[in-house]
A and B are shown apart, each in its own frame.
Chain A
Amino acid sequence: MTTNEHDLKMPSFGSDMHQGSLTEWLVKEGDHIKRGDVVAVIETSKGAIELDIFEDAQVLQLLVKEGDKVAVGEPIARLSSATTTSKPATTNKESTLATPAKALDLTTIEAPSSQQAPHKNFVLATPAARQLAQQQQLSLAAICVNNNNRIVTLAMVEQASQDQDPNSPSFVMTETPPKQIMPVEKNSDLDSHQHKQTQVKTGFDKDAMRQAISDTVTRSKREIPHYYLNQRLDISALQNHLQRYNNSVPVSQRLLLAAPLLCAIARLLMTNKQFNGEYLEGKFQPGETVNLANAINLRGGGLVMPVIHDAQNLSVELMMEALKQQVSRARNGSLVYSQLSGGTCTVTSIGERGAEQMFAVIYPPQVAIIALGSPHQEMLVIDDAMHIRWVINASLAADHRVSDGHSGARFLYQLNQLLQNPESLWQTPG
């Protein structure tokens, strides 16, 4: 069996992400890791996210240190894996998720400051810094990002080198006569700086998240020609069935309305492919599976979109489990990479005390979002008689480049029909 050495790269958790901070390594060099293992915690504007791995591999080398800011696509670790496994899933995710070309360009660094000139493929560094980084096999790009995109100097590389190997001797002036020792105030500056750098930030950066949301919705509204459809979903039958089910199981296993609703949507998306997939580089790529993103509102503001993978295959019970885990992880900011990546369609629910109707903004590069208003009772005319029914106003916002109103209307109609036969949702799909 041959082995395959390759880089583990800073993943993109969304098209709005340009860099992430490696908050914590959960593996060390030499470790053998299995598919699904969490290897690191990455801090982004979406919060601290656990990076799980898509393959069985051995960690050869950790290329960045804790606290480093790393651009998306930049290598963070060197892995060795058996070639019998298929191409690492991370690579696939990146190529479909990230902003085209930009995030894949390994050496591209966001250079908002005046310090780094806009050389697309060249990290500005002093010759001495460049040489040392090369000798120590440190990434100039990572050091640059870690120092606010400033021109990389020797001191920055030495710092990175020391941080990488805590046992290495200090570079600081071993030859210096006593009277030339740096004065105290400078040392204390350094100390506080190092302290700052090693502090692990937890929770979410609200301003950064607001900015990320702002960037995303602005891009969405600018690029995606939305159209909107509205459908009243009669959920009375579903409610009844759900209540009977919940009465028959222990409290811990009870389901929320969201679970069967998401199951219904996910299964329908498998046959309504125009709403499930990604629009990239002028082309729509239908999803092979339904990775249903679920917009979760955070206490204190902000949104995260954790993804339930292969949602069309989940039973209502498993869907409930996935939801519970997602919400708790989202709210304490410990989402795992795979839970934030690869979404092919999004569902957003206003909740029980919210508005009756919502029209949502598509999360690019997805092509549709389904918004569910709050469940409420309405008077409906059925078979020439008035009935008080539980309803949800569902809306579909879809990308007109990919689909037309007619197919959108059919999708919503099918959804309503499916909900009239709730027993089928409890059957294991497949």
Chain B
Amino acid sequence: MNEITFREAFKAAIVEALNNDPRVFLMGEDVGNYGGCYAVSKGLIDDFGAQRIIDTPLSESGFVGAGIGAAIAGMRPIVEVMTVNFSLLALDQIINNAATLRHMSGGQVSVPLVIRMACGAGKQLAAQHSHSFEGLYAHIPGLKVLYPGTIGDARYMLEMALADPDPVIIFEHVMLYNQQASLPEKHTVAPMEKAVIRKTGTDLSIITWGGCLFKALDAAEQLLNLGINAEVVDLRCLRPLDRTTILDSVQRTHKALIVDESWKTAGMSAEISATIAEQGLWYLDAPIRRVCSTEVPIPYATHLEQASLPQVAEIIAVAQQMIAESQIAMGDKE
């Protein structure tokens, strides 16, 4: 099977949407002539023209608001926000308008808008271009929040998002764009609101998503050589959250390790922890553990940036500790 990059997968999804539905158009900063900040839309303006690949002024509030208006008016806009940090300028449009209008209009107005955002750290883009705010958006009723971490999701989630009548935010981790994998058959890709177990295991559940999924899978592979059989749960969709899959997994493994590139405090990992504590407590055989980013704005210097992020070695170390703590006393018996 041919391997493609995540960038190619995201692009193929946009091309497919543009081809299949005349209501679809792409709008954002530098998406047209420049080809997109991360080159996802490179060349699309030549194929689809400036009417459907629209370069916008540097005003997130303005062009996200325009996208909301277009969606209300019957279009199926894909709005690209260059990085999640910049989306904070459009928070009023996203939270006060996109997320609320269906409810405030008594169901008369729907906002079938898709917003793509690059996010995550690892490219030395420092504290204003590297953050992970998916937890912040997952907090908001009225939004759906997707975070593909596999090539199949990168390729096929856009179609599902466009088919949804409500605003959907898709996060694209910047470290994934260049990663290659073979593209699975479309029918094997789960519905967008369903969490997927990427690796089955018996000893503990590593719960993660997006840019940390490959780290978790790498850690699980290495843990296997250390005699620990970890399960890896890919959440894929942070709102609505597939709590059932999380709880099913923890009920089988009795241990939960959450890996989140955001910070611990009041973050997505805290929500997952609370879910497990509320609904899965009796199945736990160890305290819930979290591997998250250090609570600092993401640093610029590469060694500091790497030190601040969840890493494979840390996931392995914490998993080993959890297993060791729950094992039968050895050696220290008299």
Contacts and interface: CB of A to CB of B under 8 A. Distances in A.
Contacts of B281: 127
Interface residues of B, number: 23
Interface residues of A, number: 28
A183 B224 CA distance: 9
A129 interface: yes
Secondary structure of the A side of the interface?
helix
Contacts of A131: 282
Given A173-B202, A180-B201, A193 B284 contact: no
Interface string B228-270: 0100000000000000000000000010000000000000000
Contacts of B332: 148
Contacts of B283: 127-128
Contact of A129 (B202, B224, B285, B330): B285
Contact of B229 (A147, A156, A180, A196): A180
A56 to B, nearest CB: 37
Interface in A178-207: 179-180, 182-183, 185-186, 189-190, 193, 196-197
B328 A183 contact: no
A126 B328 contact: no
A147 B328 contact: yes
A154 interface: yes
A155 interface: yes
A154 B285 contact: yes
A151 to B, nearest CB: 8
B280 to A, nearest CB: 9
B273 to A, nearest CB: 14
Given A126-B285, A176-B229, A182-B227, A155 B202 contact: no
Contacts of B286: 126, 153
Contact of A197 (B202, B285, B331, B333): B333
A371 B246 CA distance: 71
Contacts of B331: 193
A196 B284 CA distance: 29
A159 B284 contact: no
Contacts of B333: 148, 193, 196-197
Contact of B285 (A128, A176, A180): A128
B1 interface: no
B20 interface: no
Contacts of B284: 126-128
Nearest to B287: A126
Interface in A128-149: 128-129, 131, 147-148
A180 B326 contact: no
B202 A175 contact: yes
A377 B232 CA distance: 86
Nearest to A193: B330
A420 to B, nearest CB: 53
A18 interface: no
A129, A131, A180, most chain B CB atoms within 10 A = A180
A151 B327 CA distance: 10
A155 B326 contact: yes
A151 B325 CA distance: 9
B325, B329, B330, B333, most chain A CB atoms within 10 A = B329
Given A126-B285, A180-B224, A148 B202 contact: no
A65 interface: no
Interface in B121-177: none
Contacts of B227: 182-183, 185-186
B328 A159 contact: yes
B326 A154 contact: yes
A295 to B, nearest CB: 27
A150 interface: yes
Contacts of B226: 183
Contacts of B326: 126, 153-155
A213 B326 CA distance: 35
A243 B282 CA distance: 75
Interface string B275-294: 00000011111100000000
A285 to B, nearest CB: 36
A147 B334 CA distance: 10
A126 B276 CA distance: 14
Nearest to B281: A127
Contacts of B330: 189-190, 193
Contact of B327 (A128, A153, A180, A185): A153
B202 A147 contact: no
B229 A155 contact: no
B231 to A, nearest CB: 10
Nearest to A151: B325
6 contacts: A127-B285, A154-B285, A155-B326, A155-B328, A180-B201, A197-B333
Given A128-B285, A147-B329, A182-B227, 11 more contacts: A126-B286, A128-B282, A131-B282, A148-B329, A153-B326, A155-B326, A179-B224, A180-B224, A183-B225, A193-B328, A193-B329
5 nearest A-B pairs in the assembled complex, by CB-CB distance: A153-B326, A128-B285, A154-B285, A147-B329, A186-B227
